[in-house]
Structure 1
Amino acid sequence: MTVRPPAPWLDAWPQGLPRELPAPRVTLYQHLAAATQRHPDKPAIVFFDTAISFAALQAQVDALAGHLQHRAGVRHGDRVLLMSQNCPQFTIAFHAIVRCGAVVVPVNAMSTATELDHYIADSGAAVAMAAQELLPAMRAALDDGRLRHAVVHCYAEALGAVTDLPVPEWVAAPRIALDHPRIAAWADALGAGLVPQPDQGTPDDLCVLPYTSGTTGRPKGCMHTHRTLLASTIGAALWRGLHAESVVMGVAPLFHLLGMQNAMLMPMALGATVVMMPRWDAATAARLIERYRVSAWAAPPAMLNDFFAHPEAQQRDLASLAILNGGGAAMPEAVSEMLQERFGLSYIEGYGLSETASFLHCNPVGRGKRQCLGIPAFGVDSRIVDPETLAELPMGEVGELVTSAPQVMLGYWHDDAANAQAFFERDGLRFFRTGDLASIDLDGYFFMRDRLKRMINVSGFKVWPAEVESLLYEHPALHEACVIAVPDLRQGESVKAVVVRKPDTELDAAQLTAWCRERMAAYKVPRQIEFRSALPKSSTGKILWRAIQDANTSTSTESTTQP
């Protein structure tokens, strides 16, 4: 076996931190229980000035787990859908599911009924937890019995304290009537006080199945255990110097791995406090940071750009902020300079995927490079290889980033073909192919260069062109479609569709946009639509998406940007 030279990034390794970090041999629920023992009266979550202590949180988790086991028939290994905007109920439901030894299937709250149907069918989930305004998307599955049971909450049930903060109408909305035989109201489920069976969870149990799309266009479930999630979560906390007295801003969506890790799993494991927001609002965020002395905040660059440009951010005391971190898109140089000059803050850029439970690479605190993926974290072996031969490339050359790490998923759920393409073995290690093209500089820092896979990054959310194209081809007036990424000052990237109508049909951009909005999540809907008479093709008849992407110029008479 070839002896590899020392990793070039070791000179940048954070002083005092170990090179490897064994994951705790406990489950996510057991971490919460330990935090409750240490800090029973401490606020675990603050939601519009209503504080929920760790003791109260765990009591609700246990009661809900009892309902899931005794009333919904949830057993060890079952998959349970979880669909909601950020709220205390999301955290409670998540931990109740894993308390049962079951598997959380976190679903984007913007998902349509069509998208939800795939998650139900592919995961085999028969039970769901959902916010009441999202019920229409799963109503058909409840009616025909694909979902045998659902527990439904309304956000107002988490409001208790008087607040001067602006509470959105949809958050303050009262509980709706639930007259379906397969639906239980949240309050009723907790109020029954059913005692769950003894906790028999193990670190290697499958516990979360987040869905991510691929080049085939069909979303795939990423199989994560307590061990893979905690390897990422505990590593991220130690790398950034977070602890039980940290106060975390929780605004990134909890159904997304960035929010799930930074605004739920990490603070619950540490015994820290989360100041939670259901959706992004810059003015409210500024008031919350000042009021609760928020010290840590994980957010994509677009959100921070919006926040620090807001007048409220200029008027509030933000001195408590110590850690700003995130990924999904490179932080613009102008914003980085503004943060450093005006607030003395450095944005800690990192890199991860759903397949790696978010945290994989990160810039060292105080030694970061801008627009950089950072260096491999604890126990992570990342390399740059030739995408065709998988041979390792010399430093400085661009190739595919592959990685072997304790936080890498077990594989894609029930998809042997995808697993065969995604993994390979070398030097006794199992490597995951990220599909991202990167290079390593002389200091060992990794930089994104391109994407081998056709992924569009919309404010940290992955959009796979093949999935959007597949839906576009269902439109009766479309003959061909190609989806590409276009730069977006606010979101990093946005979706553009280049399409060809069928002969003798009429269709304009507004009509197609409206049609898309009924069938896909809002961030997937093309913001630009370009009509062409034909699309360029290879000699074998394949659409040359790369040529369209690279040119990104209009060759037709119609091009419309949607607001």
Structure 2
Amino acid sequence: MAIRYWPKGMPRFLDIPQTTIFDNLVVSARRYPQKIAIHYYGKQLTYAELLSEVEAMAGYLQKKLNVNKGDRVILFMQNSPQFMIAYYAILQVGAVVIPLNPMFTTQELQFFINDSEAKYAFVGQELYTKIAPLVKTTCLEYLVVASYFEYIDQPSSTILPPEVSTPPMSINESFVSLWMKALQFSLKPNQVVMNYKDLAVIPYTSGTTGRAKGCVHTHESVQANITGGSVWARLHSSSVNLSVLPWFHVTGMVFGMHIPIYIGATMVILTRWQRELAAKYIEQFQITHWINISTMVIDFLAYPNRSNYNLSSLQIVAGGGAPLPKVIGEKLKNELGLEYIEGYGLSETMAQSHFNPIDRPKLQCAGLPQFGTDARVIHPDTFEELGPHEEGEIIVHGPQVFQEYWRQPEETKKAFIKLDGKRFFRTGDIGKYDEEGYFFIVDRLKRMINVSGFKVWPTEIEGVLYKHPAIQQVCVIGVSNVRQGEAVKAYIVLHKDAKVTEQEIIDWAKERMAVYKCPRTVEFTEQLPMSASGKILWKVLMERENRQ
């Protein structure tokens, strides 16, 4: 396909560094040793200090815990200096980062530990009780537990999130090291021979059956989006980045952490989204770039005291996960003079495969394929390539595409097709492109529900709900939600004589799965629409919901 519009002065291809992600920090620390790398609720760390703590933690991993090259290490924390330090320490010793959603329950964590065969984990202390029962009962052997409070300068006038304001716990377990004690060993790691083709990180995504799959990324595939994202979003060493998207998610990871480190920019970190604090920090630190999800923009523009702050330093407001409603995009333009720059990507593409041009974006649009990326639209059954405005499955070939699904060769095989001698990833998303080469997401090929940028699979939720003794049949669908993009709704047929309320079902589910996966609404029904072969017709329920 031909891309008729391309930003002026922007190259079509970028050379990808043949170095590791960790090397990016080393270079920036050498260039800007005394520059502020991190602002964290009043605490500051320079690039020299950041590198020093990374090396000390890497030394502890290597010399005290015997973490070796290729070992998988879980990162189960929220945005914080410790998350960043742990991530780069894992990379320095040649190990592989396994970033996990802090909202996962103990039951969910068990799968990821076993699947990745991780023996070690960095854990935020507020999450300790979730993961501690899995030590020794799974392959997990050792935890390094961090208190975010230890990176706060006291006293702080800021109203801190509870997980940040809670002082360090005392944990007396043989399988636990406390963060500060680990750092105090001040061990220097031995150099590990690494290559840009080595594994770096395995973010997990959900598969078509609901079973999570690890997306294997090398340093090279991550570097492709680090370099590409920095150039496309006009990020540079003088930029100040509001890092608020969760870093366990690929977009937050790349734009909130990796890119700023690569270019030597300053990061203003929030552990939890707080719109009033975001406004205050934009003015205080002269923030220039804010990568987010649409729900944050909606909440920020609804903040009644926003006009009390000078937000003129903002140059770029961008994001993805769910389309920004047109009326919100227009409000952003009218009130702040900024156009929302939307992008598109998946865990398999390490964030962006597409991005709207900064100087010519289109609302509710995925944008143009990124540097060196070949994206097309095909018929999902025949694989016939389709033309402009024809709807089909989006496929992607590019340097940011993952290598394989972790130890799932059959799923990997199904995820790729060959076309014109190239290996294309099948995104599973239905889309189209216009005559200028801009892509638009139309629908989901599978039943995936998008809740505030998180992928939620109905089959997984149904599997949990079926365990409720009162439920006979259940069908889960996604319904439109102004704040979250989509929300989960469960249609339920109860067993005869069952006595339970809709709210009781919701509360029961919250104890067994991450909050964003839980049904927001439950509707009891006498029967579910069925096909002649006995399959539940979820599409009929979707159509019924859309008519309401």
TM normalised by structure 2 equals 0.98
1:359 aligned residue (339, 349, 352): 352
| 3-state SS of paired residue (2:327) | helix
- The answer to whether 1:329 aligns with 2:355 is no
Instruction: Name the aligned partner's letter for residue 87 of structure 2.
Output: F
> Distance between the aligned counterparts of 2:446 and 2:86, measured in 1?
34
> Distance between the aligned counterparts of 1:515 and 1:201, measured in 2?
47
| TM-fit CA distance, 1:553 | 7.3
- State the match for 1:70 in structure 2: 63
Ranges in structure 1 where 5+ consecutive residues have no aligned partner: 1-6, 556-563
| TM-fit CA distance, 1:491 | 0.8
> Distance between the aligned counterparts of 1:137 and 1:446, measured in 2?
41
| TM-fit CA distance, 1:179 | 0.9
Listed as ranges, the matches of 1:64-463 within 5 Å are 64-144=57-137, 146-160=139-153, 162-463=155-456
| TM-fit CA distance, 1:8 | 2.8
> Distance between the aligned counterparts of 2:116 and 2:492, measured in 1?
33
Listed as ranges, the matches of 1:503-514 within 5 Å are 503-514=496-507
- State the match for 1:8 in structure 2: 2
> Distance between the aligned counterparts of 2:408 and 2:136, measured in 1?
29
Q: Percent identity?
A: 43
> Distance between the aligned counterparts of 2:360 and 2:411, measured in 1?
37
- State the match for 1:558 in structure 2: none
| 3-state SS of paired residue (1:31) | helix
Instruction: Name the aligned partner's letter for residue 497 of structure 2.
Output: D
| 3-state SS of paired residue (1:118) | helix
Listed as ranges, the matches of 1:473-512 within 5 Å are 473-512=466-505
| 3-state SS of paired residue (1:325) | strand
| 3-state SS of paired residue (1:266) | helix
> Distance between the aligned counterparts of 2:192 and 2:393, measured in 1?
42
Instruction: Name the aligned partner's letter for residue 289 of structure 2.
Output: A
> Distance between the aligned counterparts of 2:376 and 2:370, measured in 1?
13
| TM-fit CA distance, 1:144 | 2.8
Instruction: Name the aligned partner's letter for residue 385 of structure 1.
Output: I
> Distance between the aligned counterparts of 1:65 and 1:539, measured in 2?
59
Which stretch of the first structure deviates more once superposed, 426-435 or 333-342?
A: 333-342
| 3-state SS of paired residue (1:424) | strand
- Residues 314 and 121 of structure 1, relative CA distance in 2, 3 Å threshold: same
Cα deviation per residue 1:172-202 (whole Å; 9 max; x = unaligned)?
Answer: 2111111111000001110011111103221
Instruction: Name the aligned partner's letter for residue 88 of structure 1.
Output: P
Instruction: Name the aligned partner's letter for residue 85 of structure 1.
Output: Q
| TM-fit CA distance, 1:548 | 1.2
| 3-state SS of paired residue (1:223) | strand
Decide whether the 8 Å contact of 1:49 with 1:162 is kept in 2. no
| TM-fit CA distance, 1:164 | 2.5
> Distance between the aligned counterparts of 2:337 and 2:431, measured in 1?
29
Which stretch of the first structure deviates more once superposed, 111-120 or 511-520?
A: 511-520
| TM-fit CA distance, 1:339 | 1.5
Cα deviation per residue 1:246-293 (whole Å; 9 max; x = unaligned)?
Answer: 000011111111211111011011111100001010101100000000
| TM-fit CA distance, 1:505 | 2.3
- State the match for 1:4 in structure 2: none
> Distance between the aligned counterparts of 2:266 and 2:82, measured in 1?
15
> Distance between the aligned counterparts of 1:530 and 1:156, measured in 2?
42
> Distance between the aligned counterparts of 1:127 and 1:324, measured in 2?
36
Instruction: Name the aligned partner's letter for residue 368 of structure 1.
Output: P
| 3-state SS of paired residue (1:552) | helix
| 3-state SS of paired residue (1:289) | helix
> Distance between the aligned counterparts of 1:105 and 1:169, measured in 2?
25
Cα deviation per residue 1:458-495 (whole Å; 9 max; x = unaligned)?
Answer: 11111111111111122222221111111111111111
> Distance between the aligned counterparts of 1:140 and 1:519, measured in 2?
15
> Distance between the aligned counterparts of 1:206 and 1:539, measured in 2?
47
Cα deviation per residue 1:140-191 (whole Å; 9 max; x = unaligned)?
Answer: 1115363111100001111126433222333121111111110000011100
Decide whether the 8 Å contact of 1:217 with 1:470 is kept in 2. no
Cα deviation per residue 1:199-238 (whole Å; 9 max; x = unaligned)?
Answer: 3221111111111112211111110111101101210110
- State the match for 1:23 in structure 2: 16
> Distance between the aligned counterparts of 1:541 and 1:408, measured in 2?
38
- Residues 431 and 554 of structure 1, relative CA distance in 2, 3 Å threshold: closer
| 3-state SS of paired residue (1:352) | strand
| 3-state SS of paired residue (1:360) | strand
- When the two chains are superposed, the root-mean-square deviation of aligned CA atoms in Å is 1.4
| 3-state SS of paired residue (2:262) | helix
> Distance between the aligned counterparts of 1:284 and 1:461, measured in 2?
24
Length, aligned pairs only: 548
| TM-fit CA distance, 1:504 | 3.1
> Distance between the aligned counterparts of 1:332 and 1:510, measured in 2?
29
> Distance between the aligned counterparts of 1:223 and 1:461, measured in 2?
19
Ranges in structure 2 where 5+ consecutive residues have no aligned partner: none
Cα deviation per residue 1:426-453 (whole Å; 9 max; x = unaligned)?
Answer: 1111000111101111111111111101
Decide whether the 8 Å contact of 1:250 with 1:297 is kept in 2. yes
Superposition misfits of 4+ residues, deviation over 4 angstroms: none
- The answer to whether 1:534 aligns with 2:548 is no
Decide whether the 8 Å contact of 1:12 with 1:367 is kept in 2. no
> Distance between the aligned counterparts of 1:17 and 1:505, measured in 2?
63
TM normalised by structure 1 equals 0.95
> Distance between the aligned counterparts of 2:127 and 2:2, measured in 1?
49
- State the match for 1:559 in structure 2: none
Cα deviation per residue 1:71-101 (whole Å; 9 max; x = unaligned)?
Answer: 2221111111101111100000000111111
Which stretch of the first structure deviates more once superposed, 346-355 or 16-25?
A: 16-25
| 3-state SS of paired residue (2:109) | helix
- State the match for 1:45 in structure 2: 38
> Distance between the aligned counterparts of 1:30 and 1:185, measured in 2?
27
> Distance between the aligned counterparts of 1:554 and 1:69, measured in 2?
59
- The answer to whether 1:547 aligns with 2:540 is yes
> Distance between the aligned counterparts of 1:18 and 1:273, measured in 2?
26
Decide whether the 8 Å contact of 1:530 with 1:554 is kept in 2. no
